[in-house]
Homo-oligomer: A and B are copies of this chain.
Amino acid sequence: MNKSAIRATAPHDHTHCQSEALSRAESLCEERGVRLTPIRRKVLELIWNSHRPVGAYAILDHLREGDRGAAPPTVYRALDFLLENGLIHKLESLNAFIGCDHPEDRHVSQFLICTKCGAAVEIQDPAIANAVKKSAGSAGFTVGRLTIELQGLCPNCSKA
């Protein structure tokens, strides 16, 4: 079984996931010369609170709990920044966002979403991407963005 699937769907020291994601984001932003401002950092941190995708307004609520009064554009702007820099992904079938654990390289990924516990796992199977590209090619389509999301039950939840 896939390593990130285990991490995401089984109990684990999640603080570690979160702090590692944050420090990677920091060095990556520095490298690229873009600014991981306090708001952006906070939003990323909130997204990394779990392996479950979060909606923009859930993030907004958490932001408001703290000191800052925030409005929707604040969150969406932070999300845009994080998306552009590959630090998070958007799950179209849920209108929700999830952290990316290898933002360093641009990549095409797929998502496995557990409808029971809500966890989502990012996988990267070249076979999937290739199958889609091949099929698109034979239909004469030029490939741009790819959205591949599966909803089902994670290993843990399908046991129960």
A positions within 8 Å CB-CB of B: 1-2, 5, 9, 92-93, 110, 112, 114-115, 121, 123, 125, 127-128, 131-132, 134-136, 138-155, 158
CB distance from A118 to the nearest CB of B (A): 14
- Interface residues of A, dominant DSSP: mixed
CB distance from A127 to the nearest CB of B (A): 5
Supplied contacts A93-B145, A110-B135, 17 more A-B pairs, CB within 8 Å: A2-B140, A5-B140, A5-B141, A9-B140, A92-B92, A92-B149, A123-B139, A125-B132, A125-B135, A127-B131, A128-B132, A140-B154, A140-B155, A141-B158, A145-B152, A146-B151, A147-B150
CB distance from A83 to the nearest CB of B (A): 14
Q: Which 7 pairs from chain A and chain B are nearest by CB?
A: A140-B155, A144-B152, A5-B139, A2-B139, A142-B153, A125-B135, A147-B149
Cα(A135)–Cα(B131), bound, Å:
13
Which of the listed residues A144, A147, A151 has the most CB atoms from chain B within 10 Å of its own CB? A147
